[in-house]
Chain A
Amino acid sequence: MTRSDVLVDADWVDAHRDDPGVVLVEVDEDTSAYDKGHIRGAVKLDWKQDLQDPVRRDFIDRAGFEALLSERGISNDDTVILYGGNNNWFAAYAYWYFKLYGHDRVKLLDGGRKKWELDSRELVTEVPNRPGTSYRAQEQDTSIRAFRDEVVSAIGNKNLIDVRSPDEFAGRLLAPAHLPQEQAQRGGHVPTARNVPWSKAAEDDGTFKSDDALRQLYGDAGVDFGIDTIAYCRIGERSAHTWFVMHELLGQPNVKNYDGSWTEYGSLVGVPIKLGDES
């Protein structure tokens, strides 16, 4: 796999956004960002309203994903180009989510909304009118999704990468620093987890660092490229960004995203927790 299989740049978007079979999709942490302006032709996915089950803590099911993409006018054969703010944090999550339901033709706009805005490229408010489709999803590919028991049994056996900030890893903060800090669960990290904050994989403008820089980043942190890997964060979105780096850019086999992440693990009764900066 090469970068062009999973990433496009802004010039590619300008050249191909009107091609049949290409659909731009914005997914943002700030779900109102799309409404203020988006790349011409892009449709919106709301990571919470559209992608999360409204009652249970889980994703929408296969039928729900089929209904969602059909309603947004996305076909099985379409190449979906995802982008969003905050270094593609939520766009990378949507990428993983599309892969989870078996949509192979999906790529990220490198740098996402931030680089697009910082380069003063055009944003519009006009919402495209895409005719509905009959989208068919696959069963979830659980080879890329980790559940809590796998995380507990991975302690000391697999790479566990905690991609939160160092203060969250150590237990000094319970959420990213742009959110209020009250939470129900305990602070700390899964014992043996290596702390490689997700954002270290991106440059200031949100583009991904080079493969060599990425390998050095994870290697220096003690990640063993010869064994399986589970990445986690607080609710599974920042770790989807790291999953993208490890699995899609670096081509590591057997990388899973633990979307339950710290809000689940830190609330489990009886599991081991490590406090402080050490793994």
Chain B
Amino acid sequence: MSETAQATAAGCGAPAGGAPAKDAGNQAIVQGKVTKDGAPVQVGYARLLNSGGDFVAEVPLGEDGGFRFFAAPGDWTLRVLAPGGVKTDRGVSAAIGEIRELEVAV
């Protein structure tokens, strides 16, 4: 178990923005930032949907607009929700040992 993963694996308590990770290790990480006019969106939610369009996980955005998921390998949809009816979808493919980085402008 990597030291970064160990801190949060015991419970479900992920902080805003997602649990920390220094490197991918044996995880399939999808992470990124949400911005509006170049500034981070601090109030909003990132949701991970599977290839069938079903919700799998959700985190509130961090203070830097960031989010992070530890997915299974495969194709996912990242959905961003923010005040003002913002709803933006992005496709992303995850792979073990890799960090897939997304920048989502809303």
Contact = CB atoms under 8 A, between A and B. Distances in A.
Contacts of B2: 180, 182
Nearest to B28: A181
B27 A166 contact: no
A234 B12 CA distance: 9
B12 A179 contact: yes
B27 A181 contact: yes
Nearest to A120: B83
B45 A114 contact: yes
A30 B60 contact: yes
Contacts of A175: 9, 70
A118 B69 CA distance: 21
A169 B70 CA distance: 16
A114 B47 CA distance: 12
Contact of B70 (A172, A178, A205, A234): A178
B104 interface: no
Contacts of A32: 15-16
Interface string B57-90: 1111000000011111000000101111001000
B56 interface: yes
Contacts of B102: none
Nearest to A93: B12
Contacts of B81: 114, 118, 204-205
Contacts of A29: 12-14
Nearest to B86: A118
B69 A237 contact: no
B11 interface: yes
B60 A235 contact: no
Contacts of B1: 182
Interface string B38-67: 000001110110101011111110000000
Interface residues of A, number: 38
Nearest to A113: B60
A30 B15 contact: yes
A231 B87 CA distance: 31
B19 interface: yes
Contacts of B13: 29-31, 47-48
B18 A178 contact: yes
Contacts of A47: 13
B21 interface: yes
Contacts of B70: 175, 177-181
B71 to A, nearest CB: 5
Nearest to B94: A177
Interface in A39-84: 47-48
A180 B87 contact: no
B8 interface: yes
B5 interface: yes
A189 B21 CA distance: 28
A165 B83 contact: no
B88 to A, nearest CB: 12
A219 interface: no
Contacts of A183: 9
B91 to A, nearest CB: 16
Interface string A176-219: 11111111000000000000010110001100000000000000
B27 A180 contact: yes
11 contacts: A29-B12, A30-B14, A85-B60, A166-B50, A172-B72, A177-B48, A179-B9, A179-B19, A180-B8, A180-B19, A204-B47
Question: What 3 A-B pairs have minimum CB-CB distances, sorted nearest first?
Answer: A180-B5, A177-B57, A199-B55
